[in-house]
């Protein structure tokens, strides 16, 4: 399984003025910007509020990597729901612009430039995802002092942006501008949708654009839809310091034979009734090479690590949303950690 390196965005971007923000929305949305009143008329929105999340990033890394943003203006955006919603509208307008440019064929950009713009957008959205998830989920965040409706609203923003980005990637893949095949080195098979600190655990969430085989070279019958990289910190008494322990969890489905189906049924859907699609959350359990091995050649000679899928929580026939699945994973982690 590929490791996900953490990148730190070190930016020094001043907050754009209110008029500049309107121009950005008008330029990307292709229409009139939403009406925004000045700060003295609307105390919830001031002209000097930090909007650094709206800044574009020129160079984008692999879209599957997580990004931790250390920009104080980004991490300082806390309680202004209206401001956060404006940022969501900006990102959604960028998605619409990229989608329309491709479908209409009126873009002045070539195919490679359009694909690069999508990668850049994914990268730019990650600090915003981090803020939504960390504020909406963290047990020690400022959200603990906010109404539950506030936290739910932030997570709904995260879900909206995730769904729209996923649809954008599927559209670009249908035009052969990008690849969703995980085995290809430059593919965009998945993208990061946030990071949150839960006590001594740091959880980074990834969304696969489409169901992807659990192992790239072995047919296990299991298909993954989401991945969570979990880093726990455990005290090493010998060294006198906290040592990180990395774990990986997945949202997967598998088609299971329905032994209760009537084999003599003449119903047109009889073949579908013979198979039941079941969703679950499980853990990556390293098989090859063994995690405890000290022989470096075991890792060098292993092109693709192999693992089994340890099912921890069965979710039934219906696929949960990315937000709901992360809720389940969070409850699972906190319960196991408490035990």
- Sorted by where each begins, the domain ranges of the chain are 1-190, 214-339
Percent of the chain with pLDDT over 90: 45
Give me the mean pLDDT over the 24-50 stretch: 38
Report whether pLDDT(147) > 80: no
Which residues, other chains included, contact 130 with Cβ-Cβ below 8 Å and sequence gap of 6+? 67, 68, 69, 194, 195, 196
pLDDT of residue 114: 93
Lowest-confidence region among 48-57, 60-69, 141-150, 206-215: 48-57
pLDDT of residue 138: 73
Report whether pLDDT(292) > 70: no
| Per-residue pLDDT tens digits for 29-40 | 444 433 333 333
Would the pTM count as exceeding 0.75? no
| CA-closest candidate to residue 133, choices 108, 113, 158, 111 | 158
Tokens at residue 192, please?
């990061």
pLDDT of residue 293: 59
Give me the mean pLDDT over the 55-75 stretch: 41
Give me the mean pLDDT over the 160-172 stretch: 97
Give me the mean pLDDT over the 215-219 stretch: 84
Q: List, as one string, the DSSP characters of 109-177.
A: S-HHHHHHHHHHHHHHHHHHHHHHHHHHH-TTSGGGGS-HHHHHHHHHHHHHHHHHHHHHHHHHHHTTS
Contact between 281 and 322 (Cβ < 8 Å): no
Which residues, other chains included, contact 252 with Cβ-Cβ below 8 Å and sequence gap of 6+? 214, 222, 223, 224, 225, 279, 280, 281, 282, 309
């Amino acid at each position: 399984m590929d490791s996900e390196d953490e990148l730190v965005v070190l930016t020094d971007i001043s907050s754009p003025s209110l008029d500049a923000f309107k121009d950005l929305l008008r330029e990307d949305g292709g229409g009139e910007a939403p009406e925004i009143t000045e700060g003295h008329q609307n105390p919830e929105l001031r002209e000097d509020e930090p909007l650094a999340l709206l800044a574009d990033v020129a160079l984008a890394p692999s879209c599957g990597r997580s990004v931790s943003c250390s920009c104080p203006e980004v991490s300082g955006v806390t309680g202004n729901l209206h401001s956060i919603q404006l940022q969501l509208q900006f990102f959604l307008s960028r998605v619409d612009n990229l989608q329309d440019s491709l479908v209409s064929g009126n873009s002045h950009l070539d195919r490679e430039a359009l694909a690069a713009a999508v990668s850049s957008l994914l990268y730019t959205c990650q600090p915003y995802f981090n803020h939504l998830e960390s504020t909406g989920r963290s047990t020690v965040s400022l959200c603990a002092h906010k109404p539950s409706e506030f936290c739910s609203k932030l997570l709904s923003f995260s879900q909206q942006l995730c769904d729209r980005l996923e649809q954008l990637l599927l559209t670009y893949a249908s035009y052969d501008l990008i690849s969703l095949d995980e085995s290809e080195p430059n593919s965009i098979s998945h993208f990061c949708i946030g990071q949150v600190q839960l006590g001594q655990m740091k959880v980074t969430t990834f969304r696969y654009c489409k169901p992807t085989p659990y192992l790239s070279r072995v047919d296990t019958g299991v298909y993954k839809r989401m991945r969570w990289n979990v880093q726990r910190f455990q005290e090493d008494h010998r060294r006198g310091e906290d040592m990180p322990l990395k774990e990986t969890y997945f949202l997967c489905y598998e088609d299971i034979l329905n032994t209760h189906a009537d084999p003599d049924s003449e119903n047109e859907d009889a073949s579908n009734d013979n198979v039941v699609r079941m969703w679950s959350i499980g853990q990556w359990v390293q098989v090859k090479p063994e995690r405890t091995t000290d022989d470096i050649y075991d890792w060098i000679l292993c092109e693709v690590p192999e693992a089994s899928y340890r099912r921890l929580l069965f979710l039934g026939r219906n696929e949960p949303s990315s937000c709901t699945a992360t809720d389940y994973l969070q409850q699972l982690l906190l319960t196991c950690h408490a035990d």
